[in-house]
Amino acid sequence: MRAPPLPAEPASESSAMWRFVAATTISWYGDWFTTVGVLVALYRLTGSPVAPTGYMMARVAPRAAGALWGGPLADRLPASRLVASCALLQSSLTASIVACNHAGVVWGIFAAVALSQALTGLATPAIRSIPPLIAGSHRLGTINALNSVAYGSAIFMAPALATPVVARFGPNPALLGDAATFLIAALLLMSLPRVGVRQPASSTADFGSHLAGLRTVGKDVVLRAVAALWFGGAFAATAASAVLVVAARQRFGGDTNVGLLYGAVGAGSLIGSVLVLRVQPTSVSRVILVAAGVAEVVALAGFTLANQLWQAYVPLAITGAAGVVYQAWSLTDMQRRVDGRILGRVSGVITVAGYAGMVAGALAAIIILPLSTWDRSIFVACCIAIFAIALGCLDRPLRRPRAPATPPLQVGSN
């Protein structure tokens, strides 16, 4: 059963779409400035590869906690206002990192990062719920493709821009730039139409449950595979990100070249984004999504074989391209097929799966890196990611679901 049609499209649909894309683009650029700045700041303050790895944990663990609440809130509050409020708070927290770095207070940097990332997790389900509220179904693929282009260009250009800034002036200018991007994004989001209040979630027992999203994902083989892909991809990528600065220092010419490695991923993401912008299927099969997800992880494992900086570019670019394809297409498919009254919670489940993969990947890096080398750490993480994806693609759920007493909340599987 296909979800009931959404209400009539807003009159200023095109303008709202571009403002939304601009807000997410600015935020992503700023986020990568902070990523490079904080990684270098912690490495220079402590002189230990464990500190950047710990930063990845402080970056991802709070996101998972925030996303647990973000899904239900996205179904109950105006989504754009929720995201804008989080952005305003994150701006002040990012600015506080500058003061902590200047004073050499490492724990303060970790605390500010953790609080800011909890807000990111809280806002993410709402961000993914906004497109159906400001645009018709025919525009959802375009919005997600444009966001993918923005994300890919941010990974490609922002680290490359941040690297010389951090090398010349230190991390603080990059951090202040991110604080400014949060303010601009908040203003753009607050200018969106006030269409974020959904129907009361208590309209039925199923819609009113906090577990409605989890049940929907559990009973749909495509959504179940998508959750596994987001977990596995995030697991491998985070484990690699946690040791990437070590790889740059030991094999690829110095710690500041970590930005160039991120840039290679971004270049691939940009290529993948062009593909999803040009190819927008009305539906996408689970096989295609899984193939793209596996390609992302396998290419990342291939990165460990590179000995020169230029040799690292190809596998990292493939990783970025494949990741964008399954992420953009799976989000569009979810936004089209899931009932709007539980879209926030379903998005929350996918978001939590991704962030849980990040947490597990960061933990794996913390555990494995002291016992091995950075390249072996990445390879082991990729093997674990492939296993997780395979587990999520089982045709039968681990428990046989009972026949529903009410009509199903999600569409039939592809």
- Checking if the pLDDT of 137 tops 80, the result is no
Answer whether residue 409 is part of any domain: no
Answer whether residue 414 is part of any domain: no
Answer whether residue 402 is part of any domain: no
Convert the pLDDT of each residue in 11-51 to its tens digit.
456 788 889 989 988 988 888 888 888 888 887 888 776 67
- Checking if the pLDDT of 412 tops 50, the result is no
CATH assignment at residue 113:
1.20.1250.20
Percentage of the chain beyond pLDDT 70 is: 86
Convert the pLDDT of each residue in 332-346 to its tens digit.
888 888 877 788 888
- Kind and range of the H or E element at 96? helix 79-103
Average pLDDT, integer, range 361-383: 84
The CA distance from 92 to 125, in Å, is: 22
Answer whether residue 405 is part of any domain: no
Answer whether residue 330 is part of any domain: yes
The residue segments making up the domain with residue 191 are 13-197+207-392
Answer whether residue 411 is part of any domain: no
Residue 174: the pLDDT is 86
Number of separate domains in the chain: 1
- In terms of Cβ atoms closer than 10 Å to its own Cβ (0-12, 13-18, 19+), residue 138 is exposed
51-60, 162-171, 186-195, 302-311: lowest mean pLDDT where? 51-60
Degrees, nearest 5: CA angle 354-185-171: 75
Residue 204: the pLDDT is 36
Q: Which stretches of 229-382 are assigned E, i.e. beta strand?
A: none
The identity of residue 181, as a single letter, is T
Residue 13: the pLDDT is 64
54-68, 141-155, 206-220, 236-250: lowest mean pLDDT where? 206-220
52-56, 104-108, 216-220, 395-399: lowest mean pLDDT where? 395-399
Answer whether residue 8 is part of any domain: no
Residue 192: the pLDDT is 84
- Checking if the pLDDT of 90 tops 90, the result is yes
Residue 208: the pLDDT is 55
- Checking if the pLDDT of 225 tops 60, the result is yes
**pTM of the predicted structure, to 2 decimals:** 0.75
Degrees, nearest 5: CA angle 122-127-129: 110
